Chains A and B, each alone.
Chain A
Amino acid sequence: GENVEQHPSTLSVQEGDSAVIKCTYSDSASNYFPWYKQELGKRPQLIIDIRSNVGEKKDQRIAVTLNKTAKHFSLHITETQPEDSAVYFCAAHYSGGGADGLTFGKGTHLIIQP
């Protein structure tokens, strides 16, 4: 099955600086890569996603890049703000061979220092 590795597990940055979270996946058949933000006690909230036929996608301060050859994808948050503090999860979606679903990384606790 699919395996997703996520780094770092904790990231502390100064307010206004950029944050980068990296993930690798194992199954080349995975074709959809969402990023979720989860606040304590809440459901995962989709913040950005990218499909395997696209290399980069941007939405205001948030961007995601995908390198299919290397099987890794990254989340970039610029001009970080206190409200960006949360746990972020990457995921890879696979469908085929009788399997379907998202495989998640273990999460990155992003701390924005004032």
Chain B
Amino acid sequence: NAGVTQTPKFRVLKTGQSMTLLCAQDMNHEYMYWYRQDPGMGLRLIHYSVGEGTTAKGEVPDGYNVSRLKKQNFLLGLESAAPSQTSVYFCASRQGINYGYTFGSGTRLTVV
């Protein structure tokens, strides 16, 4: 039982490039989330999903897209990376409304 796994762990992109971050969970959780964390800040919600095939916008969705084609995977895409998207990205999942969150180990993304 690996919990929540994020790939890659580190990535450097050039401005304008695209990439996809993968979050995979093996706990059969319904809810999945993508957060970003910037220096001196708490985590901010980008997008979330309340079940397979569903996605919704969070607090800071601009510049990102997501997909949840399979229950265990939640993908975060950057179509045209910008330096402002330099951040640490955390994925999280939870079983339901009465359960706590499990976080992945994070992806450190630098856009130059």
Asked if B42 and A43 sit within 8 Å, CB to CB, the answer is: no
Residues of A within 8 A of B31 (CB): 100
Interface presence of B43 (CB below 8 A): yes
In the bound assembly, the distance between CA atoms of A32 and B100 in angstroms comes to 9
The total of Cβ contacts below 8 Å across the A-B interface reads 51
Residues of B within 8 A of A102 (CB): 33, 43, 45, 92, 101
Asked if B56 and A44 sit within 8 Å, CB to CB, the answer is: no
Asked if B50 and A43 sit within 8 Å, CB to CB, the answer is: no
Of B11-19, B78-86, B103-111, the one touching chain A: B103-111
Tell whether A46 pairs with B100 under 8 Å between CB atoms, given A104-B42, A104-B44: yes
Interface presence of B74 (CB below 8 A): no
In the bound assembly, the distance between CA atoms of A98 and B58 in angstroms comes to 10
One digit per residue, 1 when the CB lies within 8 angstroms of any chain A CB and 0 when it does not, for chain B 39-50 equals 011111100101
Asked if B42 and A105 sit within 8 Å, CB to CB, the answer is: yes
Asked if B42 and A106 sit within 8 Å, CB to CB, the answer is: yes
Q: Which residue of A lies closest to B106 (CB)?
A: A43
Residues of B within 8 A of A49 (CB): 100
Which residues 46-99 in B have Cβ within 8 Å of A in the complex? 48, 50, 56, 58-59, 90, 92, 97
Interface of A is mostly: strand
In the bound assembly, the distance between CA atoms of A104 and B50 in angstroms comes to 19
Residues of A within 8 A of B58 (CB): 101
Which residues 1-54 in A have Cβ within 8 Å of B in the complex? 1, 4, 6, 32, 34, 42-44, 46, 49
26 residue pairs bridging A and B, Cβ less than 8 Å apart: A1-B59, A6-B42, A32-B100, A42-B105, A43-B103, A43-B104, A44-B103, A46-B100, A46-B101, A49-B100, A89-B43, A91-B42, A91-B43, A99-B56, A100-B56, A101-B48, A101-B58, A101-B59, A102-B33, A102-B45, A102-B101, A104-B44, A105-B42, A106-B40, A106-B41, A106-B42
* 9 further contact pairs, Cβ within 8 A, besides A44-B90, A101-B45, A103-B59: A1-B59, A34-B100, A46-B101, A49-B100, A101-B58, A103-B45, A104-B44, A106-B41, A107-B41
